[in-house]
Structure formats: structure tokens, C-alpha cells
Structure 1
Amino acid sequence: MANYRMIMLVALFAFHSGQGLSMDYSMTKRLAEDRECRSCNLAAGNLAGVQFVNFDLSNANLANAHLEGSNLNNSNLTGVNLQGAHLFSASMTGCNLEGANLSGVDLQGADLSGSYLPGANLSGSDLSNADFTGATLRDANLSNAILKGTLL
């Protein structure tokens, strides 16, 4: 049921936004079966609480998207653009975020434990009380990031 809810949220966003991803029934069905949305444009979408668990969202555009409280655990987010996104209290454990753009992102209280973030851009992001325990941050850009209470 959660998977169906996620697909309907994405489909409704695409329909109402007039931009980004255009989905018909076959694409919605493929998204549910394949659990992938590579290079999708979901910028500025309201996807709060959505379940993208074990999804391939590589190179997707989620800039300025509202993903508060979302579950993205174990997803492939390589090269994803999350610039300015709202990920307050999101669960992103075990994600591959290699080369992702997370600049200016609100990750307050988010759980990124065990995630892989080499070369990720986290500049200017609010990482207050976020959990990066066991995460790989090699060559990640943390300039001007807020790290108050962050677990590294």
C-alpha cells in the first residue's frame, strides 16, 4: 500500500505541477515494478513522507523538493540534485549519494548513517542533529554547513 501511495503522489505532482515528469499508466506501473526513476525531474515537488526505499533515483532533479520525514533508505542517489531541498527528519540510511548536490539542504535531524557521500556537496546545508555515523564523507564539501549536534 505504501508503494502505491508513493506512486500516486509522484503521479499527482507531475500532473499538477505542469513541469517535470509526465507520467501515464504504463510509466506509473513501471515505476512500481522497477523501483527506479532515474533522471526524473521532481523539482519543487511536495513529496513529504514519501517512501522511496531501495529506489534508483540516480541523476534525478529534486531541487527544492519537500521531502520532510521521507524514507529513502538504501536508495541509489548518485548524482542527484537536492539543492535547497527540505529533508528535515528524513531517513536516508545506507544511501549512495556519491557526487550528489546537497547544497543549502535542510537535513536537521536526518539519519544518514552508513551512507556513502564521497564528493557530495553539502555546502551551506543545515546538518543540525543529523546522524552520519558510519557514513563515508571522503572529499565531501562541508563548507559553511551547520554541524551543531551532528553525529559524525
Structure 2
Amino acid sequence: MSDGSRQMSSLARSFGLDGKLVALCLCTVLAAAVVYSAWMSGADRPFAEALSRFPAGLAAMLGFAVLFSPLIVPCMLIGWVVGWIAGGVVRLPLPARTAIAAGVLGAAAVLPVMFFFGRSGYAAENEWRILVRPLLWIAPTSAILVALSIYRKR
């Protein structure tokens, strides 16, 4: 192994970047889309109508995530690195450091959505209330729960 590739792998390890991070990012997007779709389809609707609207909402959220993936993925990686470094500075144990980094990763995934739906105008205020606020709760929470299951010790 050359010195350059050894340095890159050492740098990646120090930032906590590994194959599990890719699984965390994908599972976070999927879990956030499922939970948000379930939340939106069940808002003041009969159960049968909510069940019929769930697949359409899930497809729309996953399509939105794929469409904005060139923006979402770098934000997630930056959020992970910031959370990982902050957990290292505070000298948290590995599970807590992972949970903090995953929470920041989930919150950072919502940044492109926040930028796209700015807070100017009535329509944007509705989108902020209907889309951005719930995602600010759902994405970090789902990222933490997924990280705790992916990074658990066996």
C-alpha cells in the first residue's frame, strides 16, 4: 500500500468514514421517507384513505431525495464529520459519539430542503410548517435509531 492511500485510509478512519456510513445514509433517507409518508398520509384522514395515500407519499419523498441527492449526500457527510469531531473533542464514548454524529447527519440532510423552501411568502410558510419542521424532527431521530442498530457491538 502506498503512503498516499495509507494516509487517505487513516484520514477516513479518523473521521469515522467506513462502509457502515453508506448504509447509515441510505437507511436514514429510507426511514425518514417512510415515517414522513406515514405521518402525512394519516393526518386527519380515514384509515383506508391513509393506506392508499402512503405509497404515493413514499414514492414522492424518495424521488425528492434522489433528485436532490447531489446536495443531500455532501450535507450528510459534512454533518457526520462535524458530529464525529465534536464527539471526539468532548471525548465521548464510541456509542454516544456515533449517536451525536448520526443526529447531526440527519439534521444536515434537511438543509437542502430548508434552503429550497425558504421562509418568504405564504406558500413557503405552509411548506415550512408541513414539510421542513416535521423533517427536522424525523430525520435526526431516524438517523440516531438507525446508527444505534448499525453500529451496535455484537
| Same fold per superposition (TM over 0.5) | no
* Structure with greater helix percent: 2
User: TM-score, with normalisation over the residues of structure 2?
Assistant: 0.27
Larger Rg: 2
TM-score for the superposition, normalised by structure 1: 0.27
